[in-house]
A = this chain, B = another copy of it.
Amino acid sequence: MSDSPSSDLAARILDTDRRALARAITLVESTRPDHREQATALLTELAGHGRQALRIGLSGTPGVGKSTFIESFGTLLADKGLKIAVLAVDPSSARTGGSILGDKTRMERLSRNPNAFIRPSPSQSHLGGVARRTREAVALCEAAGFDVVLIETVGVGQSETVVAELSDVFALLLAPAGGDELQGVKRGIMEAADLIVVNKADGDLKATATRTCADYAGALRLLRKRPQDAPGFPKAMTASALNEEGLANVWQQITDLADWRKANGFWQSRRDEQARHWFREEVKQALLAGLDRPAARAKMAELAEKVARGETAAAAAARAMIAALPDLRESLDDGVNSA
């Protein structure tokens, strides 16, 4: 090993050092150019370590009992001897003042478990940045030898799409709901779900949970089958995180699906596809970043209004925008360049 800072950090991460992992995640979360530089060097050094975790994506809106679920489910896995990392994708945490941080203190039992590593969501509201940070944090957790990486999101904006594109198996957590108080699954989210888990199937809500589960099972059957769907999947089931019921079944379903995908070639092909997807996204974002600079944004907004008012055709406005771009870049680089 060389003695560059990132080399040392890489060696310690591969040696499953938790503090090194935490420091590395802080590095990939930073937007400072020199930190980005170091983060890229670290990830490059760690590329090809060959360790794979089972990446589980979990989406659930506030009120479905997500932290209780993660606490109980995570403890179940940790007690089996599995090393589990919990990461959060929460583009809203900047606004809500970091609700996930609160969750960490609520997940007291799990956070004390030596097999568990919980990382709260950073205060960053740009989804593109959150996606990259989380993807890189997942890579770091895999390098640090975790068996399971649970990536959770509150499903604000498109964050569940990000989580689905980061995970091997994607689960949607719902609360029981009667006819009049349907929770309204965001349109399109069922597209990504491998499992729907109706939580809080306990006490007075048990019957409602069973009915909600049947409703969603019906809705899932109306959707087209994907090649990566094992027989019987996507599937809806009930669970009670509070009473720790149904969690072993959720784990069983996840591993059954993961095993089936491994046996049928969909596991690796999905990962390869995701890697290509994220690489393309990185390139596109770097290319489109030129449109995000203040001068370019102002010009875009001005032209967009002309198009909306019918004063100019979109094709002509786009041509004008592309033509103006190099000038906007130059005037910016001369002046307020503070990336």
Contact = CB atoms under 8 A, between A and B. Distances in A.
Interface of A: 36, 39-40, 43-44, 46-50, 132, 135-136, 139, 182, 184-188, 190-191, 215-216, 218-219, 221-226, 271-272, 275-276, 278-280, 282-284, 286-288, 290-291, 300, 303-304, 307-319, 321-322, 325
Nearest to A132: B315
Contacts of A322: 283, 286-287
Contacts of A282: 314-315, 317-318
A182 B136 CA distance: 40
Contacts of A312: 44, 47
Contacts of A185: 222-224
Nearest to A46: B313
B40 A319 contact: yes
Given A216-B222, A218-B215, A224-B187, A275 B315 contact: no
A262 to B, nearest CB: 17
A218 B221 CA distance: 13
Given A287-B288, A304-B280, A310-B50, A223 B315 contact: no
B275 A307 contact: yes
Per assembly, the copies of the chain total 2
A283 B300 contact: yes
25 contacts: A43-B316, A44-B312, A47-B310, A48-B311, A49-B310, A50-B310, A136-B315, A139-B313, A182-B221, A184-B222, A186-B224, A215-B218, A215-B222, A218-B218, A271-B308, A275-B304, A275-B310, A276-B304, A279-B303, A280-B304, A282-B317, A286-B318, A287-B290, A287-B325, A288-B288
A316 B6 CA distance: 14
Chain A interface secondary structure, helix, strand, loop or mixed? helix
A288 B287 CA distance: 7
A275 B221 CA distance: 36
B221 A313 contact: no
Residue from A136, A288, A308, A322 with most neighbouring chain B CB atoms (10 Å): A308
A222 B312 CA distance: 41
Nearest to A317: B279
B218 A40 contact: no
A325 B284 CA distance: 12
B224 A184 contact: yes
A304 B281 CA distance: 11
Nearest to A290: B287
Most chain B CB within a 10 A radius of its CB, from A132, A135, A275, A318: A318
B307 A279 contact: yes
Q: Which 9 A-B pairs have the closest CB atoms?
A: A184-B224, A282-B318, A43-B313, A187-B191, A272-B308, A275-B308, A276-B304, A279-B307, A48-B310
Contact of A44 (B221, B276, B288, B313): B313
Contacts of A187: 188, 190-191, 223-224, 226
Given A48-B311, A287-B291, A318 B225 contact: no
Given A47-B311, A308-B272, A308-B276, A188 B186 contact: no
A278 to B, nearest CB: 5
Nearest to A50: B310
Contact of A315 (B39, B215, B287, B314): B39
